Structure 1
Amino acid sequence: MPRFPQLAGVATAALALGALAAAPVPGPGPTLSHPRIVAHFDFAAGQTPENIALEPDGSADLTFAFARQVANVTRHGDTRILATLPAEAHPNTPIIQAAIVLGIARAHDGTLYVNYATGTSWTGIWRIAPDGSRPVQIARLPKNGLPNGLALDERRGVLYAADSVLGTVWRVPQEGGRPVAWARGTALDPVPGGSGFGVNGIKVHHDAVWVSNTDRGTLLRIPVRPDGSAGRIETRATGLDGIDDFGFVGRRGDTVLAALNTDSEVALVRPDGSHTIVLTQREGLSNPTSVAVRDRLVYVPSAAYFTMKDPNLLLAHLNQHHGR
């Protein structure tokens, strides 16, 4: 969830956002233990990990937003660059003013899809083949938008992109093609006079598309109707100030771990909407941007957008596998 035109402008953007405070609520749920930083990245080189997809071997594919790169990071911290998106000589990305790589999704065959925002015709969804060939743009999205989170529904053969500026969830065929404005509404929009970031993180879960809205601090559920259209937007949790992307705990239930970017926290969000802070800056978080969960292992990338210190990847153990 980058929010500044240049790396040097982080402090200004943070002040513009204002002071945000999380509101933890006590209650039952899984706990996390043994948090540890497994990889440190280079902030000055633009290695700001924005989003995450997991490989079958447990390694993580991360988008380095301002480096325009996708990297693979093992659970031991070994890092290699998989792809670099083409440089844009004259970027005009809304809010950011720089070319950035944002959301990432992985298909079962190893193909990666990423959102690339430039403020030009290159804004859209790009495909990275497993053979290491050059990234290819498969869908153009509005140049005045900011495609942020990205989710893949292979069963339906579609990608969903959350546009933070235009308050829109775009739907695109997995093979590429013309985007359709799948969902719109006030619940997806930024707040007037806020940070400018509305709908942000996105996941496909239980015949629905779940999204976060950063400005509104909400977690939302949008049912997918039998014909593929969007149902009514449902608010599932509020008070999640600075929420970025998120991950589900288990496949059956609706328990979520959400990255709260500005306060450097991760919140456990229960199906009833209550939430508790389970990771903080004390464990090494530095403006976390997303969360991924695989069995009993939790992955949290931090981009250090506001702290400007120690972008990293944190791993922690999930002690109780709730969410059924």
Structure 2
Amino acid sequence: MRKRTITIPIATAAAGLAVVTVLNTGTSSAAVSGSPAVHSASATPADILRSRIAVRFDLAKGQMPENITVSPDGTAYVTFAGARQVAAIGRDGKIRTLATLAAPADGGVNTPVLNFALTTGIVRQPDGTLYFLYASGDAASTGLYRLERGGAPERIAALPADGLPNGLAFDQVSRTFYITDSALGTISTVRQAGGRVTVWSSAPELAPTGFLGVNGIKVRDGAVWATNLDKGTLLRIPVRNGKPVKIEVRASGLTGIDDFSFAGNRTDHVIAALVGQNTVVVIDGAGRSTTLLTAADGLQNPTSVAVRGSTAYVTSAAYLTSKDPNLILAALPRR
């Protein structure tokens, strides 16, 4: 597999003292929940009613949000890739660091494909416990972690150091985590308690073709859904007796598709981030995509989408643009 290195400028905290700016209205703080401000970009009103940049992050501190999950009270939990952190963003827009993972001795240069250590997928359980992934290129630290309220992160399952664990999903019925590895092109499973890791699928549809393969992942109505960044595909994998059935390509031509979320109760509508295209799209049941947000709305290499009620939370990591990583809130149409 040909490797491609992304050079990401990450200054130390001492090198840059940029202040996190909450909102783009000049106010010092504002609610993360509620109705976003008036949308002024090119998406049609039928697709996105309003959107706004809710929080701007500090690139110099490595605050590049890779993944997001949202609690019922509107608190957003994110992984900051460059900082190797898990953080909570309150409804007032304030950022609270919950955990920082130690860098490996080599600084993370042996992390496959990306060559820097990073926190990736994140899931929140109803009791507030967070689970997240860490990819470091180091056998002693790469894995699935548990973070209980007020506690310290604990690795509960070791993952291959030559892989890049990326997407994380949890099936409430089987109490099983599903983990994508974008370098190895696999989906693995781990029980909620942790321990043994099983490669659940290594189908060719998951493989990379030069950079990153299978990426985002969700569990919905008896199937595992995933994306392949290199191939630009949205995949559905029916589950039968815990085993994968033949993979269905539900949409294609989605260049650089990263993470995604289902559009509320719609089981066949997906909202996805196209990281290299600075675009967020909605994909319908027929596989047709419609642009919802673009760089004109503030997207800076969007990585992940979470939906709570009629609001979409979109994180931008600025991996390639190297400016203005942020969190955008967008009001979805009521259909």
TM-score by length of 1: 0.88
SS of equivalent residue, structure 1 residue 87: coil
Structure 2 residue aligned with 1:199 = 214
Q: Looking at both structures, which has the greater relative contact order when contacts are Cα pairs under 8 Å and sequence separation is at least 6?
A: 1
Aligned-residue sequence identity (percent) comes to 51
Is the 1:106–1:152 Cα contact (8 Å) retained in structure 2? no
- DSSP 3-state at the match of 2:205: helix
Q: Could you tell me how far apart the structure 2 residues matched to 1:220 and 1:61 are? A: 26
Quick one: which of 185, 207, 228 aligns to 1:167?
Answer: 185
Give the distance between the partners of 1:142 and 1:85, measured in 2 at CA: 17
Structure 1: runs of 5 or more not aligned: 10-27
Q: Within the alignment, does 1:236 sit opposite 2:250 as a pair? A: yes
1:210 shift after superposition: 0.3
1:68 is matched with: 84
Amino acid at match of 1:127: R
| Separation of aligned partners in 1, 2:200 and 2:76 | 29
Q: Distance in 2 between matches of 1:30 and 1:113?
A: 35
SS in 1 for 2:304: coil
- Inter-partner Cα distance in structure 2 for 1:76 and 1:207: 36
Q: Could you tell me which amino acid in structure 2 is paired with residue 216 of structure 1?
A: K
Q: 1:5-53 CA distances to partner (integer Å, 9 max, x unpaired)?
A: 54239xxxxxxxxxxxxxxxxxx99621211011111112110000001
Distance in structure 2 (CA, Å) of the matches to 1:288 and 1:87:
25
Query: Which residue matches 1:150?
Result: 168
The alignment of Structure 1 onto Structure 2 pairs a total of residues equal to 296
In structure 1, distance between residues paired with 2:306 and 2:92 = 17
Which of 239, 242, 245 is 1:224 aligned to? 239
Q: AA paired with 2:142?
A: T
Q: Which moved further from structure 2: 76-85 or 235-244?
A: 76-85
RMSD: 1.6
- How far off is 1:145 after superposition? 0.4
| Counterpart Cα distance in 2 of 1:149 and 1:29 | 31
**TM-score with structure 2 setting the length:** 0.85
One-letter amino acid of the counterpart of residue 53, structure 2 = I
The unaligned stretches of length 5 or more in structure 2 are 11-43
Amino acid at match of 1:129: E
For residue 332 of structure 2, what is the aligned residue in structure 1? Answer: 318
Residue 143 of structure 2 is matched in structure 1 by 124
Question: Are the equivalent residues in 2 in contact too, given 1:171–1:182 (CA < 8 A)?
Answer: yes
Matched, 1:101 2:115: no
Tell me whether 1:300 sits opposite 2:318 in the alignment. no
Distance 2:189 2:91 in 1: 32
Higher deviation after alignment, 30-39 or 153-162: 30-39
Q: In the alignment, residue 235 of structure 2 is paired with which amino acid?
A: L
